[in-house]
């Protein structure tokens, strides 16, 4: 699987835009959708937490995941940011070709 979708949650829309712009400008991601408000419930340091966050949906190539992860960690406000990838099993050939042309390995 050459192509992946990466999910990254952020503390705010502003942080999401900052990370998205950086990843696209540096050709680490071809396209990023930002879902302005998602509610996340999770276990952290012995407590159940409930926060409104923004969600980045990142389209890129698997070969760029480690670079993406390291850059996001530098820009992100969380100690342990969510940065998880799932493979794109199938996709429009035109769209996948566009990802190839857009990102820089």
The pLDDT tens digits for 19-35 are: 999 999 999 999 999 99
Report the top-level CATH class of 3-102: alpha beta
Q: What whole-number distance in Å separates Cα of residue 100 and Cα of residue 81? A: 27
DSSP class of residue 84? E
Chain segment 39-62, per-residue pLDDT in tens: 999 999 999 999 999 999 999 999
Compute the distance between CA of residue 35 and CA of residue 60 in angstroms, rounded to an integer.
18
- CB 86 within 8 Å of CB 25: no
């Amino acid at each position: 699987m050459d192509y992946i979708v990466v999910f990254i949650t952020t503390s705010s829309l502003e942080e999401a835009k900052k990370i998205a712009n950086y990843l696209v400008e540096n050709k680490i991601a071809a396209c990023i959708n930002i879902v302005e408000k998602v509610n996340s419930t999770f276990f952290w340091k012995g407590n159940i937490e409930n926060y409104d966050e923004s969600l980045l949906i990142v389209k890129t190539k698997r070969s760029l995941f480690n670079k993406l992860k390291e850059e996001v960690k530098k820009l992100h406000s969380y100690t342990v940011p969510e940065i998880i990838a799932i493979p794109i099993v199938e996709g429009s050939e035109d769209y996948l070709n566009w990802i190839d042309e857009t990102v820089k390995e």
